[in-house]
Structure 1
Amino acid sequence: MNKINILGINISLVSKKEVLVNIEAFLKSKKQHYITTPNPEIILMAEKDEEYFYILNNADISIMDGFGLKIAAWLSGKNVTRITGADLTTDILKLASEKKSRVVIFNWSGGLSTSLEIKDSIEKKFPGLSFLVIDLDKGQESIDYDKINLFSPEIALVALGAPWQERFINQNLKKLSSVKVAIGIGGAIDFITGKARRAPKFFRFLGLEWLWRVFQQKKIPGKKVFFLNRFKRIYRAVFVFSWKFFVWRFILPFFYRKNVACLLYKKEDDKYKILIVERVWQKEHWQLPQGGTECQDIMEAGARELREELNTDKFKSVAGFNDLWKYKFKKYAGSGKYLADKHWGYKGQSQGLFIAEFQGEDQDIRLNYWDHIAWKWTDVDDLTKEVYSTRRESTEVFLNKFIEIINKNETTN
């Protein structure tokens, strides 16, 4: 399936008809699938949340929902069909009714529509559809899996809003054994119950549905609406997103991203061992932990990166070096899950090196599943052979710096 990448998030180049055809195929599949519906606000969330970034880019289909993304795609040379969650939800329920597929709807208990209102509306609009409505709080962990699995739904519609609905799917899909396809639908269910009104076609055509919602939300009975908070969300989705996209698309491609490679070592039986990690996107791609410096100096950035990627602070900072290696991004990273040259927007990376001595136990190291799938200690002499082929030249440079530091320290001591 062809994709376009916007601020690091892949968007599927599909029409609504193609989405429905794919959903039909998913229902016949033995595997489980999930669909996301990114909009500008969701993409800005993923920019600051690595796990959420991973969840979005692991989706089987990522549907553009938001006029700002359509403009961004157009500025990237692609005319992508915008598919609103409200339209898609209605079409999915219609498809489920026709195919006799059971549906479970996870409804936010604090949302506009109650489970009773959802049941009444769906029964009237989709007679004969077999469905179950489950009320949940955002971030709720206790779920009656037995009840849901006994009902045996094939489609799951999750109406918890971003990022909770995507996290819910990621954490619970495997536990819902009968579900073949899950999708986060946000507040789309409120249009079916009539608790929310669609913007007139004129507003939708101009991409001003967001402006319509600003004024309409104040008129919802029985709900206290904080206009300022709503305006802040609109401001981020329209103005902040537009500025970030402009910088990402037209400015960053001329620059190298500042990056730090982290060489964590320990001494065992008079031999030095160095930690390497296996990337989640590509099996057998071993490398030193690394990440962006985020405007910190090399020592601060390296220490932060180790804490974030290994979830441990059991190490002592030893040395840091700036700008030891520079490389351009290839088109695809890993197995092609995302476009590497579009991930951060930069043309490539300028890497420094952070050296630290591990002072804990192996059980103190815990990987983030969205970053890496394995880690191991390797002998210094084997390091360049153990890392992925494209990493060997830079690793040799880093290793020489490490040996230089070790020799200097041993001479001093």
Structure 2
Amino acid sequence: MLERRVNLEGRAATADVPRITVGGLRMAALDLEATADFMIAATDQRHRINRPLYLTSANGEVLARCSTEPQIERLFRAADLINADGQPLVAASKLQSWFPLPERVATTDLFHVVARKAEVTGRTFYMFGASEQENAAAVRRVQNMYPRLKIVGYSHGYLDGEALRAKVDEINALAPDFLWVALGVPNEQAFVEEYTPRLTNVGVIKTSGGLFNFLSGSRSRAPRWMQRFGLEWAWRTWLEPRRLFWRYLTTNPRAIYLLFSRNRPANR
């Protein structure tokens, strides 16, 4: 696989994580709890590498876009670890592989598991992304939910040029164990590629999509039964039809094709 050749440091740091290729991308075959444990362990000073460990997530839309947009495929293949944030990916792996994905690892769920563990272990967070209002509201709710969690800083994501570079340097000086970057695909992946060299004091970067909108309460998640049956995309389309209808109309059929044509188990 391409990421094996270009990401040797990350491969070594994640060598013990089992993977399975789903829809053309190698995914971590870990459940939520194990993923959070891995992230906590990765921020231990004894396990740090000379740059942040980069974790991202993929769903059906990402699979479809990676198969048609080389730039996005490159950004995802550069990740140290990719989580399956989509129930259809889990279902397809169980139908076709003797070594399936154990469960969906949605960033919206993963954040809370990591936050609970970070409270106990003293790990620190920085929350970067979304609008100023959404970011501040998300931070307030997180602080209420996890009063012992150390949030060393936060910022909206509407920055560019020198202001963005200064913010990145500020984040690096604060040296958070976890940097949650919520800028949306592919902006957050491009951010990681460009600014990782300036973030040497950060332990783990986790791209987060619309996480802060859910944390702030401005956006509601699909009912549990829709999540279980892989219909969260339908819920989101119902809430935001103008923005999402055409996106899912064009990516869902290709994602289904990829899920049944580009799967295979992989131990590393």
Q: TM-score range by the shorter chain?
A: 0.7 to 0.9
Q: 1:91 to 1:85 in 2, by over 3 A?
A: same
Whether the 8 Å contact between 1:139 and 1:164 is mirrored in structure 2 is no
Q: Which residue of 2 aligns with 1:233?
A: 247
* Corresponding residue to 2:81 among 61, 78, 82: 61
Q: Secondary structure at the match of 2:58?
A: coil
Q: Which residue of 1 aligns with 2:90?
A: 70
The offset of 1:39, in angstroms, is 0.7
Gaps of 5+ in 2: 1-16
Q: 1:51 to 1:214 in 2, by over 3 A?
A: closer
Cα distance in 2 for partners of 1:11, 1:194 equals: 29
Whether the 8 Å contact between 1:68 and 1:238 is mirrored in structure 2 is no
Q: 1:121 to 1:186 in 2, by over 3 A?
A: same
Whether the 8 Å contact between 2:83 and 2:105 is mirrored in structure 1 is yes
Task: Pick the structure with more helix per residue.
Answer: 2
* Corresponding residue to 1:100 among 91, 115, 122: 122
* Corresponding residue to 1:151 among 174, 182, 187: 174
After superposition, what is the alpha-carbon deviation per residue over 1:246-290, rounded to whole angstroms, capped at 9, x for unaligned? 4x349xxxxxxxxxxxxxxxxxxxxxxxxxxxxxxxxxxxxxxxx
The total of aligned residue pairs comes to: 242
Q: Which residue of 1 aligns with 2:228?
A: 205
Q: Which residue of 2 aligns with 1:325?
A: none
Query: What's the Cα RMSD here?
Result: 2.6
Whether the 8 Å contact between 2:56 and 2:82 is mirrored in structure 1 is yes
The offset of 1:51, in angstroms, is 4.1
Q: 1:140 to 1:42 in 2, by over 3 A?
A: farther
Greater radius of gyration (CA)? 1
The offset of 1:210, in angstroms, is 1.7
Query: What TM-score comes out, normalization by structure 1 length?
Result: 0.54
Whether the 8 Å contact between 2:130 and 2:212 is mirrored in structure 1 is no
Task: Pick the structure with more strand per residue.
Answer: 1
Cα distance in 2 for partners of 1:184, 1:122 equals: 17
| Matched letter for residue 41 of structure 1 | E
Identity of aligned residues (%): 22
Whether the 8 Å contact between 1:67 and 1:82 is mirrored in structure 2 is yes
The offset of 1:2, in angstroms, is 2.1
Gaps of 5+ in 1: 218-226, 251-330, 338-413
Query: What TM-score comes out, normalization by structure 2 length?
Result: 0.80
Q: Which residue of 2 aligns with 1:243?
A: 257
Whether the 8 Å contact between 2:169 and 2:198 is mirrored in structure 1 is no
| Matched letter for residue 207 of structure 2 | G
* Corresponding residue to 1:36 among 50, 56, 64: 56
Cα distance in 2 for partners of 1:37, 1:140 equals: 27
Q: Secondary structure at the match of 1:207?
A: coil
* Corresponding residue to 1:169 among 176, 192, 199: 192
Q: Which residue of 2 aligns with 1:254?
A: none
Q: 1:123 to 1:169 in 2, by over 3 A?
A: same
The offset of 1:27, in angstroms, is 0.7
Q: Which residue of 2 aligns with 1:136?
A: 157
Q: Secondary structure at the match of 1:198?
A: coil
Cα distance in 1 for partners of 2:86, 2:160 equals: 25
* Corresponding residue to 2:69 among 15, 40, 49: 49
The offset of 1:69, in angstroms, is 1.5
Cα distance in 2 for partners of 1:55, 1:140 equals: 21
Cα distance in 2 for partners of 1:140, 1:228 equals: 30
Whether the 8 Å contact between 1:138 and 1:164 is mirrored in structure 2 is no
The offset of 1:54, in angstroms, is 3.2
Q: 1:249 to 1:24 in 2, by over 3 A?
A: closer
The equivalences for 1:289-304 within 5 A come to none
After superposition, what is the alpha-carbon deviation per residue over 1:325-349, rounded to whole angstroms, capped at 9, x for unaligned? xxxxxx99xxx98xxxxxxxxxxxx
Whether the 8 Å contact between 1:138 and 1:160 is mirrored in structure 2 is no
> Using CA pairs below 8 Å that are at least 6 residues apart, which structure has the higher relative contact order?
2
| Matched letter for residue 211 of structure 1 | A
| Matched letter for residue 238 of structure 1 | N
Whether the 8 Å contact between 1:149 and 1:178 is mirrored in structure 2 is yes
